[in-house]
Structure 1
Amino acid sequence: MAKRANGEGSVRQRSNGRWEGRVSHIDPVTDERKSASVYAATATECRKKLRAVRQRIEEGAPAKDAPDTVGSWLAQWRESSLAASDRKATTKSLYGTLSRKHLEGTPIGGKRLDRLKASDVEALIVELRGNGLADSTVRGVYTVLRQALDVAVRDGLLAVNPAAKVKRPSVARQEARYLSAADVARLLDAARGLRYYVAVLVMASTGLRRGEVAGLLWSDVDLDKGELTVRHTLSRVDRELVLTEPKTERSRRRVPLHAGAVSAIKGWRKQQLQERLAAGDQWTDTGVVFASEFGTMVDPRNLLRTVELAARKAGIEGVGAHTMRHSAAVAWLESGVHIKAAADLLGHSSISITGDLYGHTSDDTARAAIDGLGAVLGL
Structure 2
Amino acid sequence: MKGYFRKRGIRWSFTIDIGRKADGTRNQKTKGGFKTKKEAEQACAELIAQLSKGDYLEPSKKTVQEAMEAWLDSILKSTLRISTFDNYSKAIGKRIIPALGKLKLKDVNTDHIQSFYISLTREGLSPEYIRYLHSILKSFFKHQVRMQNIAKNVVEFAVPPRIGRKEQKTWSIEEAIRFLEAAKEDNQSYYIVYVLALYTGLRRGEVLSLRWRDCDLIQGKISVCQTLYYSNQQFHFLEPKTSRSNRLVSIPDSVVEILKTHCLEQEKHKKDMGSAYEDYDLIVANEIGKPINPRSLTGHFRRTIQKARVPKIRFHDQRHTHATILLKLGEHVKIVSERLGHSNAAMTMNVYSHVTSDMQKEAAKKFDMALQVKGTCQ
Tell me the TM-score normalized by structure 1: 0.84
Name the structure where helix makes up a greater proportion of residues: 2
1:357-376 pair list within 5 angstroms: 357-361=351-355, 369=363, 371-376=365-370
Q: 1:253 aligns with which of 247, 257, 261?
A: 247
Which of 200, 210, 224 is the aligned partner of 2:194? Answer: 200
In 2 relative to 1, CA 298–45 (structure 1 residues): closer, same or farther, beyond 3 Å?
same
Q: Higher mean Cα deviation, 253-262 or 349-358?
A: 349-358
Partner of 1:38: 30
Which of 164, 171, 177 is residue 163 of structure 2 equivalent to?
171
> Among residues 256, 263, 268, which one is paired with 1:269 in the alignment?
263
Change (3 A) 1:175 1:12: closer
Residue of 321, 330, 342 corresponding to 2:324: 330
Identity within the alignment, %: 25
Letter of the 1:135 partner, please give it.
P
Shift of 1:377: 3.5
- State the 1:35 CA deviation: 5.8
Kindly report the root-mean-square deviation, in angstroms, between the aligned alpha carbons of the 2 structures.
Answer: 3.1
1:316 Cα shift?
0.8
1:91: Cα distance to partner? 1.0
**Number of equivalent positions:** 361
Alpha-carbon deviation of 1:102? 0.7
1:65 and 1:158 in contact (8 A); partners too = yes
1:90 aligns with 2:88: no
Superposed counterparts of 1:1-379, under 5 Å: 8=1, 20-23=15-18, 37-39=29-31, 49=43, 51-53=45-47, 55-56=49-50, 63-85=57-79, 87-106=80-99, 108-193=100-185, 194-195=187-188, 196-361=190-355, 369=363, 371-378=365-372
Bigger drift between 188-197 and 167-176 goes to: 167-176
**Superposed displacement of residue 81, structure 1:** 1.6
Q: Distance in 2 between matches of 1:334 and 1:77?
A: 46
Could you say what secondary structure the match of 2:342 adopts? coil
Code of the residue aligned with 1:65 in structure 2: it is P
Question: Equivalent residue of 1:377, what SS?
Answer: helix
Listed as ranges, the gaps of 5+ residues in structure 1 are 1-7, 26-33
Unpaired stretches in structure 2, ≥5 consecutive residues: 21-25, 374-378
Alpha carbons of 1:61 and 1:362: their partners in 2 closer, same or farther (altered >3 Å)?
Answer: closer
Which secondary structure does the structure 1 equivalent of 2:372 belong to? coil
| Offset of residue 131 of structure 1 | 0.8
Note the C-alpha offset of 1:275. 2.3
SS of equivalent residue, structure 1 residue 228 = strand
C-alpha distance in 2 between matches for 1:371 and 1:110: 61
* Kept after mapping to 2: 8 A contact 1:255/1:345: yes
Distance 1:244 1:89 in 2: 9
Q: Post-superposition shift, 1:233?
A: 1.4
Partner of 1:349, secondary structure, is: coil
Deviation at 1:190, TM superposition (A): 1.5
| 1:270/1:23 CA distance change after superposition, 3 Å | farther
Does the Cα contact within 8 Å between 1:233 and 1:243 map onto a contact in 2? yes
Cα distance in 2 between the residues matched to 1:78 and 1:239: 21
* Alpha-carbon separation, structure 2, partners of 1:272 and 1:254: 24
Quick check: 167-176 or 133-142, which moved more? Answer: 167-176
Quote how far apart the aligned CAs of 1:44 are: 8.5
Which has the larger displacement, 270-279 or 362-371?
A: 362-371
Counterparts in 2 of 1:370 and 1:309: CA distance versus 1, 3 Å: farther
Name which of structure 1's ranges 346-355 and 89-98 shifts more when overlaid on structure 2: 346-355
